[in-house]
Amino acid sequence: SSGWIEVICGSMFSGKTEELIRRLKRAKIAQLRVEIFKPIADTRYHDEDIVSHNHNSIRSTPVNSAAEILLLAGDCDVVGLDEAQFFDDSIVEVCNNLANQGKRVIVAGLDMDFKGVPFGPMPNLMAIAEHITKVHAVCISCGGVAHYSFRKVANQSTVLLGESDSYEARCRACFQKEQKNA
Ligand code: ADP
Ligand code: MG
């Protein structure tokens, strides 16, 4: 039987990692064989664990490339992947390949960068997925529903690892207000 792809997307602090961990832990309870990966670039909290902002965690394998995931996924039933926005477009074919092998593939990642532009392979992953869950953060300015990750520091490179020291969840109105002031 064939597998499928689930995407969990949203801004920073929206609960993507929390939701990914929740689904993976339930798969483990169901005694499914689970393999979890994250890009080696993401070492914010821990070298190997995937850790959410509320300090929930699960063991993972850091990888350098999408191709490595294909090699290491072996004969597991469920593949989890966090911070998918940091992979190149080859992650799309890798996810298709894994799902075609019969695996359930659960992918979490930022759908937009700090400028509000679709992030890396995420749009294509969302296009090929059977299921997409968009989770939302709380706007730090007004308490509304946030779907942007506002960067509080001047650095303009697309990738800047950081936490609440460098990023803030913002709703559309509060994100725009700040863009104009910048
Ligand atoms: P993500 O992976 O999307 O960055 P996490 O799953 O790591 O998010 O963290 C979600 C948790 O972050 C929430 O459960 C909450 O405890 C915390 N949090 C901190 N700031 C916010 C915010 N502005 N909106 C929502 N949750 C926040
Ligand atoms: Mg996360």
- How does pLDDT run across 63-113, given as a tens digit for each residue? 999 999 999 999 999 999 999 999 999 999 999 999 999 999 999 999 999
What is the 1 CA–ligand 2 centroid distance (Å)? Answer: 30
Whether 34 is covered by a domain: the verdict is: yes
43 Cβ contact partners less than 8 Å away, ≥ 6 residues apart: 62, 161
Whether 115 is covered by a domain: the verdict is: yes
Q: Which ligand is nearest to the CA of 133?
A: 1
Structural domain boundaries, residue 38: 4-135
Q: How confident is the model at residue 59 (pLDDT cuts 50, 70, 90)?
A: very high
Is 16 near ligand 1, meaning CB less than 6 Å away?
yes
Whether 23 is covered by a domain: the verdict is: yes
User: Does the predicted interface ipTM exceed a cut of 0.95?
Assistant: yes
- In the block, tokens 């969302």 appear at 126
The count of domains in the chain is 1
Tokens of 83: 């911070």
Whether 177 is covered by a domain: the verdict is: no
Tokens of 81: 């992947």
Is 147 near ligand 1, meaning CB less than 6 Å away?
no
Backbone torsions φ then ψ of 46, nearest 5 degrees: -160, 145
Q: How far apart are CA 96 and CA 156, in angstroms?
A: 33
- pLDDT for residue 34 is more than 60: yes
Q: How far apart are CA 108 and CA 122, in angstroms?
A: 9
Q: How far apart are CA 97 and CA 101, in angstroms?
A: 6
Is 140 near ligand 1, meaning CB less than 6 Å away?
yes
Q: How confident is the model at residue 26 (pLDDT cuts 50, 70, 90)?
A: very high
CATH code (residue 77): 3.40.50.300
16 near 109, Cβ under 8 Å? yes
Q: How far apart are CA 25 and CA 133, in angstroms?
A: 18
Beta-sheet strands, E only, within 2-99: 4-10, 34-39, 49-51, 57-59, 61-63, 78-81
Whether 172 is covered by a domain: the verdict is: no
